[in-house]
Structure 1
Amino acid sequence: MKRILFPAILGALSLGATSASAQADFRSCLSSLRGQAAAKGISGQAFDVATRGIEPDLSILDLMKNQPEFKTPIWDYLAALVDDERVQDGKAAMRQWGQALASAEARFGVDRHVIAGVWGVESNFGKDIGGRPLVQSLTTLVCYAPRRNEYFKGELMATLKIVQDGDINPAYLRGSWAGAFGHTQFMPSTFQRLAVDGDGDGRRDIMASVPDAVHSTANFLKKAGWVKGLPWGYEVRLPQNFNPKLAGRKSKRPLSSWAAMGVTRADGRPLSGNYRAGIIIPAGVNGPAFLVTRNFDAVYSYNAAESYGLAIALLGDRLKGLPGIQTAWPTDDPPLSRAQRRELQALLLSRGYDIGEVDGKIGSKTREAIKDVERRIGLEPRGRPGGKVLEALRG
């Protein structure tokens, strides 16, 4: 199969006008994949059923370029994922599925609040599982995203194996643009390795079964190195002369070493415990700092982004009833919760901006409208949903 991006057809496809040559290129790619699937033990019938009638979805290439964990300021990222609304939803979900979470904790030794934190960050407790057909998304990525062609090909083959094995009804096999699916958004290859039966029906279905999803997530974290009884970490206060070169998730040292430098808990209490930890400063030494253990590394491995790991850990803490971040972020333009983002969108609509639905999700139309407001109030037009823009719209 050709590992090239087809530049001549991208514009046509993105506009929905799929040319005959584009169709031929995609069909040629599918034909090559059918042969490779057969070599992996996937029957021609399973492949044909899974790919019948699919067309490429080029919109996911833009999504691939704009992943929020790496492009959004940390304070905005966390404000949208760990807000009062999600905490309340999470507490309700934990009450409803308390038995499943308790049994997952007992079976794998992973804190149920952290499991729920993954569930909340990944799918808003099952409300935002994602609606893109996995086979369509992954074939698009294999055929049109050459830089990670082999990775997505592996995920596509794992998806076809899931269909062939009958664990999940293929009609419901939908998820994110990158192929993650289910309540806790496993990649297909991760599902194959680590998904478990949590409800005792003999199947592994993280789409329809919350017990399967939370048990599978606990298994993932356990295999990633989670240590029962060890905290993930907590917010700390740094001394004024702290050397930022000492920070880093991998730069772990005994707590006694950090304590000797003058590091304390955020409330001023001394550090205590006989384990090693690192310190991360996601916004620099003038923002919040967090002491992190190997359990944070286990959470980090779920998506390989520190902002993501912090969102899960902090949401888990809030679900326990612990307070949120105590130190202010180093910005004079405060981040917005999802409720505030919805208010911002409603105000934009009331002023005649065509931004679509009021849903708290900041898409391209909302960003363009925000840019116009930013220009009007003398800010750099970045399309950022911040406190200054909201206050200007309220006025």
Structure 2
Amino acid sequence: MHLTRRTALLGLGAVTLSACATTTTATRIGSSSTGLPADLRPTPNAAYDAWVASFRGRAASAGISQSTLNAAFRGTGYLPGVVRRDRNQTEFTRTLEDYLSIAASDERVSKGRAAYARHRSTLNAVEARYGVPANIVTAIWGLESFYGERRGDVPVISATSTLAFDGRRGAFFEKQLIEALRILQSGDVSPANMTGSWAGAMGHTQFIPTSYQAFAVDFTGDGRRDIWSDDPSDSLASTAAYLSRNGWQSGQSWGREVTGDAAGTVIQPQPGGPRFAVTRNFRVIKTYNNSDSYAIGVGHLADRIAGGGPLRGSFPPDRYGLTKDDRVDLQRRLTAQGFDTDGADGVLGPKSRAAITAYQTSRGLPATGDPSVELLRSLGG
């Protein structure tokens, strides 16, 4: 039976694809919480305080010492922004084309190759021990935290206790809180350095506390399973250990793009788009995040990091009749005319739609925020 990573998030965030980081710039683990948005700083809440007081008894019954509890909850508190983010998660789907435009962007590929080269000796040692290819581990690192740049800086005890108190998924997050306290009690990390996403995912490859307890390893041999350090060694090894224990078959690829007939399992996640012949290892990647797009993103990014090229197949026009090249052109033309889309990757997210709306308003057009072939033409060459 496969062990699986229960994610506390929907995943597939627009910036990091893991939706885990609270910032889009490099984060220093252990940094002051004053650098967080106001709604992610402790806010007085008497009901939360009463919940924590009652929780202490349950934690003690689970083997958590009073000294651990006192240290863990010192300076923590209710985070209203965590509840807001949890309740406002919108169910949405990206096309595979949009997903891969982010997951295997030129920047993510180039940074991945640099990270692979920089940590080659560690990654090779991890591969030798667990049988998981170094480029696969690097790709997961890239999707989960942009190679460690976006690990998140929300105190995990505050985040998980807030969500446990809130009650929407109270039992799940109380379990995460208990395991986070066990991690502190074991001495793997200090309360100040136990930071992560707003939902408690931690480290370079975003383990929630229960996943950490099940799979994290001390690869450096310093006596601590330190996934928070700037040194990613323990995180990378923990990810490989996770995949290995979930059935990774050494010597077998994740899959490949196919243009003709192929044996085995063939999938086409986006109608009219590329087709992929996938292996058992593809399903193992999905235990990390149960999404075909995620698993293809990991596999394709891994191939690119190892020197492979872009996909050969093409994707059909979107529902507005635009190809990716059209969307990139649209973003570039809008930005050139003063309506900033924050880059031109062909993915029409909130910034691009806001730019379209602003352009439409400036021209007296209906402010729909929707792209179109006519809109592209109106922007000129």
TM superposition score category, shorter chain reference: 0.7 to 0.9
Letter in 2 for 1:279: V
Partner secondary structure for residue 315 of structure 2: coil
- Structure 2 residues not aligned, in runs of 5+: 1-36
Partner secondary structure for residue 45 of structure 2: helix
Q: Identify the match of residue 79 of structure 1 among 101, 108, 114.
A: 101
Q: Identify the match of residue 136 of structure 2 among 114, 117, 137.
A: 114
Describe how 1:207-356 pairs up with structure 2 within 5 A: 207-208=228-229, 209-237=231-259, 263-264=261-262, 277-284=264-271, 286-331=272-317, 332-335=321-324, 350-351=338-339
Distance 1:367 1:149, change over 3 A: farther
Distance 1:39 1:369, change over 3 A: farther
1:12-65 CA deviation, whole Å, 9 max, x = no partner? xx996x9x9x81211122122222211211122212322233333233345335
Letter in 2 for 1:206: I
How far off its partner does 1:362 sit? 9.0
Distance 1:25 1:88, change over 3 A: same
Q: Identify the match of residue 177 of structure 1 among 173, 182, 198.
A: 198
Contact 2:334 2:379 (C-alpha < 8 Å) held by counterparts = no
Residue 105 of structure 1: aligned partner: 127
Contact 1:79 1:335 (C-alpha < 8 Å) held by counterparts = no
Letter in 1 for 2:254: W
How far off its partner does 1:97 sit? 0.6
Deviates more, 1:94-103 or 1:318-327: 318-327
Contact 1:131 1:175 (C-alpha < 8 Å) held by counterparts = yes
User: 1:143 aligned to 2:165?
Assistant: yes
- Structure 1 residues not aligned, in runs of 5+: 1-13, 239-262, 265-270, 272-276
Distance 1:344 1:139, change over 3 A: farther
1:56-83 CA deviation, whole Å, 9 max, x = no partner? 3233345335668953333222211211
Distance 1:169 1:88, change over 3 A: same
What RMSD over aligned residues (CA atoms) do the two structures have, in Å? 3.7
Partner secondary structure for residue 323 of structure 1: coil
Contact 2:332 2:344 (C-alpha < 8 Å) held by counterparts = no
How far off its partner does 1:367 sit? 5.1
Q: Identify the match of residue 132 of structure 1 among 154, 163, 187.
A: 154
Residue 254 of structure 1: aligned partner: none
Q: Quick one: distance in 2 between partners of 1:390 and 1:281?
A: 29
Partner secondary structure for residue 68 of structure 2: helix
Per residue, is there more helix in 1 or in 2?
Answer: 1
Residue 165 of structure 1: aligned partner: 186
Contact 1:194 1:220 (C-alpha < 8 Å) held by counterparts = yes
Q: Identify the match of residue 123 of structure 1 among 145, 152, 157.
A: 145
Contact 2:45 2:78 (C-alpha < 8 Å) held by counterparts = no
Partner secondary structure for residue 140 of structure 2: helix
Q: Quick one: distance in 1 between partners of 2:246 and 2:174?
A: 24
Q: Quick one: distance in 2 between partners of 1:173 and 1:207?
A: 7
How far off its partner does 1:163 sit? 1.3
Distance 1:89 1:42, change over 3 A: same
Distance 1:379 1:345, change over 3 A: closer
How far off its partner does 1:161 sit? 1.1
Q: How much identity, in percent, do the aligned residues show?
A: 34
Partner secondary structure for residue 287 of structure 1: coil
Distance 1:15 1:97, change over 3 A: closer
How far off its partner does 1:154 sit? 1.1
Distance 1:387 1:232, change over 3 A: farther
Q: Quick one: distance in 2 between partners of 1:212 and 1:40?
A: 27
Deviates more, 1:58-67 or 1:215-224: 58-67
Distance 1:87 1:388, change over 3 A: farther
How far off its partner does 1:324 sit? 2.1
Q: Quick one: distance in 1 between partners of 2:344 and 2:70?
A: 37
Q: Quick one: distance in 2 between partners of 1:134 and 1:204?
A: 16
Q: Quick one: distance in 2 between partners of 1:163 and 1:341?
A: 50
Letter in 2 for 1:301: T
Q: Quick one: distance in 1 between partners of 2:207 and 2:330?
A: 28
1:144-175 CA deviation, whole Å, 9 max, x = no partner? 251x2211211111111111111022212111
Residue 52 of structure 1: aligned partner: 74
Describe how 1:6-85 pairs up with structure 2 within 5 A: 23-64=45-86, 70-85=92-107
Residue 192 of structure 1: aligned partner: 213
Partner secondary structure for residue 71 of structure 1: coil
Distance 1:82 1:374, change over 3 A: farther
How far off its partner does 1:221 sit? 0.4
Residue 274 of structure 1: aligned partner: none
